[in-house]
Amino acid sequence: MIRVETIHREDRSIALVLLDRPDKRNALTPEMLEALCEALEHAPNSHDAMVLAGEGKLFCSGFDLSLCKADPSGGAMRSLLTGLSRACTIMRRTEKPVVIAAHGGAIAGGCALLGGADVVVSDVHAKLGYPVTKIGVSPAVSAPFFCLNVSQGAARERLLLPELIAGTLAHELGLVHELVDTNEEVRTRSLDIATALAGKPPHAYAATKRWLNTLEGSDDSPLIKLALETSLSLTGGPEEQRLLAALGL
Amino acid sequence: MPKLALLDIQGPVATLTLNRPDAHNALSIAMLADAHACMDELEAIAERPESPTVLVFTGAGRSFCAGMDLKEVIIESDPTLPQQLLESLARLTFRIRNLPFVVVGRVNGAAIGGGCGLVTVCDLAITHEDAKLGFPEVDLGLCPAVVAPWLVRKVGPGRARKVLLSGGLLSGAQALELGIVTATVETRDQLDEAVERLVEAEAAGGRAALRATKELLNTLDGSDDLDILLQGAKLSAAVLATEDAQNRLKARRK
């Protein structure tokens, strides 16, 4: 369900890391996140840049909630939250460029993944957001990354309001860096950007990325750990179970 | 030898002008020293009741500031020059930001690299739509570590990441969209009128209120942290000294 293709452009090698579960709108399972982390960790060794994209109609619809509903202990939810936090951290820490092609939609855990990228591309009609409090899940896990991309006021609104926003507003807020008109254009534009970034002098790119991580505190693992623990603290609880049980899955 | 940075004070409005128009006001150690001398004067009068409310910061000629002077960052005779230049720039940005006056950038043309960094230090800035601004440091194998903290404060970490890692240049209109400048005018000849209007509006405000507000904003966003800038100067100098960066700079000079 995670596939890596190598795209050769100019004299550069781009790893196209694909969420490949289109029949389930690329809903994330613990195994997918494990494989995604592995791909994100290994791709920089043999590629100049990475593009994370999804097959099918949208980038990612979030966690596979049917797994969470079937596991009242909260174990599946815990694996998903931990894997998500790890994937974002790996993207931030890798010294190679990471572009996310968020076509169509990036919802809940799918939207949280955007926080790890250097550049996010989406389309005007895409739906993005964190409608997770309504299923008893705290989006705290993604807050350290999300707050870097949008103002603190907007982050508060987006993390507390369980609604989706269009690509245009996501772009205005800073969650998306580049916006194209149609979802078909998103991947091509992302590959263009990754190719351009891959052509930058690698040591300068790496030094600048490390320095930005330091300045913005995204290398501050205690904060990322605290955010994950906040989300984990609710897993398997009565509220989450009640709200998940009410979902028509 | 003419001064490379000029200070003019007219009532509530002071003007600091980078004055190397033949070199597009490129940042040299000598020009930075003259700019520091202007800061000495401004800091000395800052607490006087008749001191200015607004500082206009601009460049002589057709550019605001073209960035670091290549002659001083290509390591030939004295390997300490880049570090001196970058540390002086870091200290200058800190001093400009921490003046108790509202600093208005009159960005009269190209503002590149460290020059664009100086724009982001200003409280407010106006440029024209086809001015060239931006941070092409990564393209030259450099790390814009001194200006990064200012850009992060100006436009937020997410947009700063995209801008600094992408390199290249922006038009004035794109700089406005990103929040690097406060406003644009269509053409350069409309700049003075727009700056004048903005300065008048600022100078008419309560002096104590503006000072207190600016001081608080500086505390809130960490603008009073000199150490991070000096750390940035060291990092930037280290990357600049690498063989790759030096080769790219030499190719650029040719």
- In 3D space, the residue among A93, A111, A88 whose CA is nearest the CA of residue A36 turns out to be A88
> Which of B148, B244, B245 is closest, CB to CB, to A212?
B148
Contacts of B242 in chain A (CB under 8 A): 203
Enumerate residues 66 to 85 of chain A having a beta carbon within 8 A of any beta carbon in chain B.
Answer: none
In the numeric block, the tokens 């940042």 are attached to B27
**Structure tokens belonging to residue B220:** 């809130």
pLDDT tens figures, A142-201 = 999 988 889 888 888 888 888 999 999 999 999 999 999 999 999 999 999 999 999 999
Pick from B142, B157, B161: which is nearest to A204 by CB? B142
Chain B nearest CA to A166, separation (Å)? 19
State the nearest Cα–Cα gap between B157 and chain A, in angstroms: 5
Of all residues in chain A, the percent with pLDDT exceeding 70 is 100
d(CA A142, CA A139): 6
At A86-145, the pLDDT tens digits run 999 999 999 999 999 999 999 999 999 999 999 999 999 999 998 898 888 999 999 999
CB distance from A21 to chain B under 8 Å?
A: no
Let me know: does B56 contact B104? Beta carbons within 8 Å.
yes
Query: Per-residue pLDDT for B55 more than 90?
Result: yes
Which one is catalytic: B72, B87, B137, B202?
B137
Any catalytic annotation for residue B202? Answer: no
B158 touching A, CB under 8 A?
yes
Is the pLDDT assigned to residue A83 strictly greater than 90? yes
Predicted pLDDT of residue A205: 98
Chain A residue with Cα closest to B244: A201
Element containing residue B105 per DSSP (H, E): strand B102-107
Q: Best interface-test mutation with A: which of B137, B139, B143 has the largest number of A CBs within 10 A?
A: B143
Verify whether the Cβ–Cβ distance B142 to A209 is below 8 Å. no
For residue B139, give the nearest of B253, B241, B248, B232 by alpha carbon. Answer: B248
Q: Is A151 on the interface with B (CB under 8 A)?
A: yes
* CB spacing of A148 vs B141 below 8 angstroms: no
Phi/psi region, residue B152 (left: phi>0; alpha: psi -120 to 50; beta: rest), is alpha
Q: How far apart are CA A224 and CA A229, in angstroms?
A: 9
For the segment B21-43, the average pLDDT, to the nearest whole number, is 98
Could you tell me if B34 and B2 are in contact, meaning their C-beta atoms sit under 8 angstroms apart? no
Q: Would you place residue B1 in the very low, low, confident or very high pLDDT band (cuts 50, 70, 90)?
A: confident
Please calculate the CA angle B40-B36-B196 and round it to the nearest 5 degrees: 85
Predicted confidence (pLDDT) per residue in A68-82, tens digit: 999 989 999 999 999
| Res A4: pLDDT | 98
What percentage of chain A exceeds 90 in pLDDT?
A: 79
> In angstroms, rounded to a whole number, what is the distance separating the alpha carbons of residues A56 and A51?
16
Contact B245 A216 (CB under 8 A): no
Global ipTM: 0.88
User: What is the C-alpha to C-alpha distance for residues A11 and B73, in angstroms, rounded to an integer?
Assistant: 30
* Residue pair A116/A87 in contact by the 8 Å Cβ criterion: yes
Q: For tokens 């508060």, what's the residue?
A: A156
With b for 16 or more beta-carbon neighbours within 10 A and e for fewer, the B236-252 pattern comes to: bbebbebeebbebbeee
The amino acid present at A185, given as its one-letter code, is E
- b/e sequence A223-245, b meaning 16+ C-beta within 10 Å: ebeebbeebbebbbeeebbebbe
B140: chain A residues, CB-CB within 8 Å:
201, 204
DSSP tag of B19: -
Determine whether the interchain pair B138/A151 forms a contact, defined as Cβ–Cβ distance below 8 Å.
Answer: no
Find where tokens 């534009």 sit. Answer: A189
Instruction: Determine the 3-state secondary structure of B1 from DSSP.
Output: coil
Q: What end-to-end distance do the CA atoms of chain A give, in Å?
A: 21
Size of interface A-B (CB pairs under 8 A): 91
Q: Are B3 and B17 in contact (CB under 8 A)?
A: no
Q: What's CA B93's distance to the chain center, in Å?
A: 7
A201 to B141: CB separation less than 8 angstroms, yes or no: yes
What are A38's two structure tokens? 């592995």
Q: What is the mean pLDDT of residues B111-126?
A: 97
A158, A18, A42, A30 alpha-carbon torsion, rounded to 10°: 60
pLDDT at B224: 94
Whether A203 contacts chain B with CB within 8 A = yes
User: Closest approach of chain A CAs to the CA of B179, in angstroms?
Assistant: 11
pLDDT of A134: 85
Q: How confident is the model at residue B28 (pLDDT cuts 50, 70, 90)?
A: very high
Q: Which residue in A200, A203, A207 is closest to B167 by CB distance?
A: A200
Amino acid at B77: S
Residue B18 at interface with chain A, using a CB cutoff of 8 Å: no
B129, B100, B108, B143: which is closest to B12 by C-alpha? Answer: B100
- pLDDT band, very low/low/confident/very high, at A233 (cuts 50, 70, 90): very high
